[in-house]
Structure 1
Amino acid sequence: MNPDVFFKNFELLADAPNGVQKLRELILQLAVMGKLVGQDPNDEPASVLLEKIEAEKKRQIKEKLIRSESFAPIKEDELFFKIPANWEWIRLGQIGDWGAGSTPNRKNPDYYDGTTKWFKSGELNDGYIIESEEKITDLALKECSLRLNKKDDVLIAMYGATIGKVAILDTEATTNQAVCACTCFTGVYNRYLFFLLKAYLKYFASQGAGGAQPNISRIKIVNTVAPLPPLAEQKRIVSKVDELMALCDKLEARRQKKQEIQSKLNSAALDKMLSAENQEEFEQNWQRICENFDILYDNPENVGKLRQAILQLAVQGKLVEQNPEDEPASVLIEKIEAEEKKLLKEGKIQKAKNLQTVDVEEIPYNIPNGWLWIRFGKIAPHIEAGWSPMCEKRPKEGEEWGVLKISAVSWDVFNPSENKALPSNLNPRPEYEVKPNDFLMSRANTSELVGKSVIVEDTIPKLMISDKVLRLFFSSYSFKKYYNIFNNSQTARFYYAKEASGTSSSMKNISREVIYNMPVPLPPLEEQKRIFVKVEQLMGLCDELESKLRKSREDSGKLMETVVRGLLEGGAAEI
């Protein structure tokens, strides 16, 4: 592919998934391959430049300014890609004086709080650095193995999570042992080296893999094979990279602004839906969202807000019209209470604690005529927890028994594959086996997911609920799928977040008492069923919209991949 085509389609490519970041990486890769700017036959070739660099290096060695260091000849199989004819392959140690720093003894207070800047690898910011978090004394410089780096030296991090991070010193400074610095020889533009090292980030990270803490050594760095252009072209490359990176900054800012506007428009549209006074008004607002979906949403993840709005509208009675012919909730609750008394008398359930009438202060929103606010325990009078023995760290196989993990019930759809195999030396407890149509809920989970529920549509045999998964038993006068909608709505989410116990947000707990006492809106039974049908219909539309968005993103991603392959043709896919 002609680079000119790439530049003309630059902004289009930025719209691909993670497009701007991929463009930044591609710019650097093209730069060090000699494909970002044209070659000028009038430039002094890199072979002549390299001879001058070698002459300067010998002079500095003779004057004992640097140490002598030899490098092995470069082999054909070490080359990453093809380079222009007037470029040369070199080892990084040939184009500069490299040296790592050290950490003065922390136990010696005379080494710290001085005037010499001392940088650690975490302070490298992929740009210029001038102020260090700590400073050391002249005594530390004298007594410790420290290298005093010059202004304009290029730094690279060698250890841990920061491996491959780079910076340019805008001041004289030292570093710790996790940073290697390079003073470029005459003829090597430090900003070209800076971009070269950034382009090699993934390579350096791969070289550091394998140990408990990833690291690369100075020896690995100086022996790394890299391309050297003529000096004039180095400067043209840097100028072009600066230009394109500035464009990336603008595209990134524009995309962020677009997302902020979309978020505000999305919130306004959803607020209108949530504040709809009747079903007709809701339908109008919903249609408006569908017609402007491309404007309101540009990635599948945003559709989650729309799904939550649908659930909330459902449990507020705004999703379907009320039918005056429906048996009102006041009659329904009498039947539920009569059934509960009968079951108590027959000894089929235990008497629950007395549930108080829902106070006005507890009511989160108004509900339609014919509905009632009740406690969850009224329609789900019995809750059981399962069993959590020490299990194998793998899913069950074949006829083995397994125990559910909380992740099986955390994501709106029951996932039976999220289980751990019961050890063969333990007897299963069949009374806890999962059955179709079970209403399951997590009693322990993250603050965002605690209390999430699913209804088991289908399952596999010999799966048991754990003690962190609750099974709720409902009145025969209830429609479970409606209560699953409510239990996963924002109203229930806020309630569980408020009532859950536990100091860590990564593991919150809710008790049965908390669940029993949650205020729940009770519609007529027939309306519960209509609500479920409507929710399913609208969620299906969300699925279609998400699918279109994903297809669009996949197409953008494939376009980016095609462009990358075309531009890197003849070279390695990546450094």
Structure 2
Amino acid sequence: MNAQDLKNSILQLAVQGKLVEQRAEEGTARELLEQIKLEKEQLIKDKKIKKSKPLPEITEDEIPFEIPESWEWVRLIDLCSLISDGTHKTPAYVEYGVPFISVKDISSGVMDFSNVKYITREEHEKLISRCKPEMNDVLLCRIGTLGKAIKICTDKEFSIFVSLGLLKLIEADVADYIVQVINSGYGYRWIDDNKVGGGTHTNKINLDTLRGMPIPIPPLEEQHRIVAKIEEILPYIDQYDKAYTKLEIFNKKFPEDMKKSILQMAMQGKLVEQRPEEGTADGLYEQIVAEKAQLIKDGKIKKEKPLPEIAEDEIPYEIPSSWRWVRFSEVMDVRDGTHDSPKYIETGIPLVTSKNISGGGLYFSNVKYISREDADKINERSNVDTGDILFAMIGSIGNPVIVNKDREFCVKNVALFKNYDKSKMCIEYVYWFLYREQYIMKKVASGGVQSFISLKVFRNYLFPLPPFEEQKRIVAKIEELLPYCDQLIK
């Protein structure tokens, strides 16, 4: 339950008479209503207000919940000398003058003069002759943002727009309670159920409808105790809101943070035990180097420039003694797609870029196409096979994907990781290493308008190499644990 739901629940308890106890010595709501009725009749007799059109008695069907015996259901107009709205005409605004208030200035739950518009004194006098907001009156949003109500707690002069309704209560002491009723779950639902508009039309609550709103009324002293209890509780709800927000942020981050932690442990050799019978990474490394040398000799790959020795200050964390730090290009064939922009055609060979890579998959719905001739030229240096890894190196850095090739395509501005020997390097282990490293790469990516990771950086990137069998056990453990992280998201 979030803070707003909690607040709604408390307000709902309040308007049902369940937030504070009833006290016989405080009388009944009927006595209060009789007093208000007499005061209203006197105002009519003195011609201070006009007699309103009588509304029908509240029926059983209109009563949404039970209230204490000392309470009464009454229509809103029976508590008010006036229910009106602001001007329907947009006045001319001036730089300085009298504040002109609309929904945006009270929708936060308080009256906010920081961004109001202003009208002339002459215009203001004209508007308040029909609808004059004063201290202890109630304003509510009746067009657009519906239902939010506040009590006027300032003697500052202002006028209001048609989007606001104005309630002038016969008994000013009732105002605080009425605000809580309108802002309660009951008040919100009633106004929402009785609004007009929607779709292409702005929602609004008509004044005649608002006048007939059923209100659950307690004795006046009980109203005061209800409001006091709500005001006592609200600071705790604010504290709850802050804690809940932090928890929500934590809950959203926790699964991904847990996944990162699992992958970090995996790449540090802490996720599975080391087994002497599986040999060492040094032995594996020598086998891969020999395989690579044979591929160069056979003309299947080109000889690269020698890579620099790994310095002590480059090593980011400790790994088991049976592992070895290597540079990526020592154990993987690291390439990239074309950097050129070939001519696009309506149909042809798909050209995959970073926008086609997401969530561990390749998507061809918005791919562009190139000719067979251009595709053959690109594939001479960066042909993609099933089991290769693609990794976006420009723009949206990361999003590694293991290719399961079901169609021909070429790549542009995408890093391509190919195995020298599938019996010596587990491609899934490489994938999970890249999955984890993408977060670091995004932070260190260079570039001005568009961030990028160069092919040189990929080839020189440090890679923790375990023995082959341990690589497979690490992948199995990762794939066993990560589904639990995904379950935390749901």
With normalisation by structure 1, the TM-score equals: 0.61
What's the offset of the Cα at 1:141? 0.6
Tell me, yes or no, if structure 1 residue 149 matches structure 2 residue 102.
no
Query: Is the CA contact 1:441–1:469 (under 8 Å) kept in the aligned structure 2?
Result: yes
Residue aligning to 1:134: 116
Query: Is the CA contact 2:258–2:485 (under 8 Å) kept in the aligned structure 1?
Result: no
Pick from 469, 472, 475: which aligns with 2:420? 475
Query: Is the CA contact 1:375–1:516 (under 8 Å) kept in the aligned structure 2?
Result: yes
Query: Is the CA contact 1:101–1:147 (under 8 Å) kept in the aligned structure 2?
Result: yes
From the superposition, tell whether residues 119 and 419 of structure 1 become closer, same or farther in structure 2 (CA, over 3 Å).
Answer: farther
What's the offset of the Cα at 1:183? 2.3
What pairs up with 1:417-436 in 2 under 5 angstroms?
Answer: none
From the superposition, tell whether residues 242 and 303 of structure 1 become closer, same or farther in structure 2 (CA, over 3 Å).
Answer: same
From the superposition, tell whether residues 140 and 460 of structure 1 become closer, same or farther in structure 2 (CA, over 3 Å).
Answer: farther
Tell me, yes or no, if structure 1 residue 185 matches structure 2 residue 159.
no
SS at structure 1 position matched to 2:198: coil
Query: Is the CA contact 1:363–1:519 (under 8 Å) kept in the aligned structure 2?
Result: no
Residue aligning to 1:524: 466
Pick from 188, 203, 215: which aligns with 1:215? 203
Tell me, yes or no, if structure 1 residue 312 matches structure 2 residue 264.
yes
Aligned partners of 2:85 and 2:6: how far apart in 1? 32
From the superposition, tell whether residues 150 and 516 of structure 1 become closer, same or farther in structure 2 (CA, over 3 Å).
Answer: same
Aligned partners of 1:62 and 1:240: how far apart in 2? 38
Residue aligning to 1:452: 399
Aligned partners of 2:105 and 2:332: how far apart in 1? 58
Residue aligning to 1:196: 181
Query: Is the CA contact 2:325–2:463 (under 8 Å) kept in the aligned structure 1?
Result: yes
Query: Is the CA contact 1:442–1:470 (under 8 Å) kept in the aligned structure 2?
Result: yes
From the superposition, tell whether residues 209 and 463 of structure 1 become closer, same or farther in structure 2 (CA, over 3 Å).
Answer: farther
Identical amino acids, percent of aligned pairs: 27
How big is the alpha-carbon RMSD for the aligned residues of Structure 1 and Structure 2? 5.2
SS at structure 2 position matched to 1:240: helix
Counterpart of 1:379, as a letter, is M
Counterpart of 2:398, as a letter, is G
Pick from 438, 444, 461: which aligns with 1:498? 444
Query: Is the CA contact 2:390–2:401 (under 8 Å) kept in the aligned structure 1?
Result: yes
Query: Is the CA contact 1:130–1:169 (under 8 Å) kept in the aligned structure 2?
Result: no
Residue aligning to 1:561: none
Residue aligning to 1:121: 103
Query: Is the CA contact 2:105–2:112 (under 8 Å) kept in the aligned structure 1?
Result: no
Residue aligning to 2:434: 487
Write the deviation string for residues 208-234 of structure 1: whole angstroms up to 9, x where unpaired. Answer: 772347532352433433322332332
Structure 1 alignment gaps of length 5 or more: 1-16, 264-297, 391-402, 423-428, 551-575
Tell me, yes or no, if structure 1 residue 241 matches structure 2 residue 230.
yes
What pairs up with 1:204-283 in 2 under 5 angstroms?
Answer: 204-205=191-192, 207=195, 210-212=198-200, 214-219=202-207, 220-249=209-238
SS at structure 2 position matched to 1:98: strand
Write the deviation string for residues 387-443 of structure 1: whole angstroms up to 9, x where unpaired. Answer: x999xxxxxxxxxxxx99979842xxx589x99699xxxxxx9x9xx9986746567
Aligned partners of 2:24 and 2:256: how far apart in 1? 57
Write the deviation string for residues 277-299 of structure 1: whole angstroms up to 9, x where unpaired. Answer: xxxxxxxxxxxxxxxxxxxxx96
From the superposition, tell whether residues 30 and 461 of structure 1 become closer, same or farther in structure 2 (CA, over 3 Å).
Answer: farther
Aligned partners of 1:471 and 1:86: how far apart in 2? 78
Query: Is the CA contact 2:72–2:217 (under 8 Å) kept in the aligned structure 1?
Result: yes
From the superposition, tell whether residues 139 and 485 of structure 1 become closer, same or farther in structure 2 (CA, over 3 Å).
Answer: same
Which range is displaced more, 132-141 or 512-521?
A: 512-521
What's the offset of the Cα at 1:466? 10
Aligned partners of 2:75 and 2:222: how far apart in 1? 19
What's the offset of the Cα at 1:75? 4.1
SS at structure 1 position matched to 2:181: helix
From the superposition, tell whether residues 35 and 409 of structure 1 become closer, same or farther in structure 2 (CA, over 3 Å).
Answer: same
Residue aligning to 1:49: 32
Query: Is the CA contact 1:163–1:214 (under 8 Å) kept in the aligned structure 2?
Result: no
Which structure has the greater CA radius of gyration?
A: 2
From the superposition, tell whether residues 126 and 499 of structure 1 become closer, same or farther in structure 2 (CA, over 3 Å).
Answer: closer
Pick from 318, 324, 328: which aligns with 1:371? 324
What pairs up with 1:337-348 in 2 under 5 angstroms?
Answer: 339=291
Aligned partners of 2:448 and 2:192: how far apart in 1? 39
Query: Is the CA contact 1:440–1:470 (under 8 Å) kept in the aligned structure 2?
Result: yes
What pairs up with 1:407-418 in 2 under 5 angstroms?
Answer: 409-410=358-359
Query: Is the CA contact 1:383–1:512 (under 8 Å) kept in the aligned structure 2?
Result: no
What's the offset of the Cα at 1:305? 2.5
Query: Is the CA contact 2:401–2:431 (under 8 Å) kept in the aligned structure 1?
Result: yes
Write the deviation string for residues 468-509 of structure 1: whole angstroms up to 9, x where unpaired. Answer: 9987543333212212221222x4312124327686xxxx87
Query: Is the CA contact 2:40–2:170 (under 8 Å) kept in the aligned structure 1?
Result: yes
Which range is displaced more, 189-198 or 437-446?
A: 437-446
Residue aligning to 1:266: none
From the superposition, tell whether residues 501 and 405 of structure 1 become closer, same or farther in structure 2 (CA, over 3 Å).
Answer: closer
Query: Is the CA contact 2:138–2:179 (under 8 Å) kept in the aligned structure 1?
Result: yes
Aligned partners of 1:228 and 1:438: how far apart in 2? 72
Aligned partners of 1:209 and 1:437: how far apart in 2? 57
Aligned partners of 1:71 and 1:444: how far apart in 2? 72
SS at structure 1 position matched to 2:73: strand
What pairs up with 1:341-356 in 2 under 5 angstroms?
Answer: none
Which range is displaced more, 97-106 or 176-185?
A: 97-106
Write the deviation string for residues 188-227 of structure 1: whole angstroms up to 9, x where unpaired. Answer: 6111011111102354456477234753235243343332
From the superposition, tell whether residues 522 and 302 of structure 1 become closer, same or farther in structure 2 (CA, over 3 Å).
Answer: closer
Write the deviation string for residues 89-129 of structure 1: whole angstroms up to 9, x where unpaired. Answer: 33333322333335986864xx3423x44444334366554
